[in-house]
Chains A and B, each alone.
Chain A
Amino acid sequence: MDLLLLAAIAREPLHGYGVVEAIRDASAGELDLAEGTVYPALYRLEGAGLLSSKWTTVGGRRRRVYRLTRLGRRRLERERKDWNAFAGAVKAVTA
């Protein structure tokens, strides 16, 4: 979950709904998250200093937009590397 959220927000700053949409679109609908449960994960990542957020107004509507911090970018790189190693190993075994 953390990797998905960080990767989605790394492309561009997003609000909660935007994060869910970005993950759904990038995965061609395969990853369809329970949308309300994205927020606890976002709060946790923000609390860990991996994301920052602020209120903005878009089309007269207030929304909280999340962006990756420098620490978050470093964590994303590490998580990506770990995931690729894991996925490569599973692929090698199951091929």
Chain B
Amino acid sequence: MIDGYLHRLERELAERGVRGASARRVLAEARDHLVELAEKDGTIEAFGPSRQVAAEIAAQLATTRTIRSTYGAFGVLAFVGFAYLAFMAVVGREESPDLFGARHELIGVAAALGLALFPQVAFVAGCLALWRALRLRGAATLSSEELDIIRRRASVALAAAGLAAVSMAAWSLEFRVDATLLTLAAVSFLAVGGGTAAVARAGRPRAFGGGAAGDLFDDLGFRMDPWHFAFLFAAAVAFLGFAGGWVAEGDPGGGLVWATFEGAGVLACFAALGRRLALRR
């Protein structure tokens, strides 16, 4: 009776993505419980149907692991952020190289653009993932749709951080081979790999379906047309880009180039990643 139940429970857990150490722990605790139940009542019915127990455990694990892996991913992003700042500090000690003077011109330009774009994408997507995870952390279990959004945001953030690390390595190889710069890039890339594995693992247990997940405006607490919001946000970022570019380049023309790049980048990312990151429905 008990072995049969545990066999069914193991199968139900596996079907919902709960395997390995987690499943072994559940089965060991269930066995202990069932033995006591059988000794006392002569039946194990009070434990509940194996399908229901497995579904609740999978939903619980999916929620806990997704929230935890998102915190971990944000930690990785913070680490990569510091590595990026250290990289830029080392690079900034010498005069900027000619952007078109790389060993391979195309790779050099791509690396420079990647150094400007990917850290920003990683920062925004990472903040969105963390904010959704913090906002919903009190819930006993979250729907599979909500968990998908959190993991998707964390995955995009980690992918962008990984590309930032690749850009760091490419920049160093193209413009200035430097052990410190390459080490910063390599360590960042490894950290991103660890974070990505944790987020992928969190997606294995299957949660309950619960309808559509909220979008960006559920996170922000107000609602407006998504594209109006995107244009306002792009304008604000472009303004900051203009100010930063003016200061960095020493002339307003440089600021305009930066502003155009930043504003267009925000709108392009909103168009490309808007649905994936639940910025719009």
Among B48, B59, B63: residue with most chain A CB under 10 A: B48
A17 touches B53 (CB 8 A): no
- Interface of B (DSSP majority class): helix
30 CB-based A-B contacts, threshold 8 Å? A1-B140, A15-B32, A15-B33, A16-B29, A17-B32, A17-B33, A17-B36, A34-B46, A35-B33, A35-B46, A35-B47, A35-B48, A36-B33, A36-B47, A36-B50, A37-B48, A37-B52, A37-B56, A39-B26, A39-B53, A41-B60, A41-B140, A43-B57, A43-B64, A44-B60, A61-B32, A62-B28, A63-B29, A64-B25, A64-B28
**Interface pairs A-B: 8 shortest CB-CB:** A36-B53, A40-B60, A36-B48, A47-B64, A36-B47, A40-B56, A17-B36, A17-B33
Which residues of B, 8-30, contact A by the 8 Å Cβ criterion? 25-26, 28-30
A39 touches B30 (CB 8 A): yes
Partner of B32, one of A1, A37, A47, A62: A62
Interface residues of A (CB under 8 A from B): 1, 15-17, 34-37, 39-41, 43-44, 47, 61-64
> Once the chains are docked, how many angstroms separate the CA of A84 from the CA of B53?
31
A15-B33, A17-B32, A36-B48 known; 9 new pairs, CB 8 Å cut-off, are A16-B32, A16-B33, A34-B52, A36-B50, A40-B57, A43-B64, A44-B64, A61-B35, A63-B29
- Interface of A (DSSP majority class): helix
> Once the chains are docked, how many angstroms separate the CA of A1 from the CA of B60?
14
Interface residues of B (CB under 8 A from A): 25-26, 28-30, 32-33, 35-37, 46-48, 50, 52-53, 56-57, 59-61, 63-64, 68, 140-141
CB distance from B181 to the nearest CB of A (A): 39
B28: chain A residues within 8 A (beta carbon): 62, 64
> Once the chains are docked, how many angstroms separate the CA of A16 from the CA of B37?
11
A34 touches B29 (CB 8 A): no
B61: chain A residues within 8 A (beta carbon): 43
A39 touches B140 (CB 8 A): no
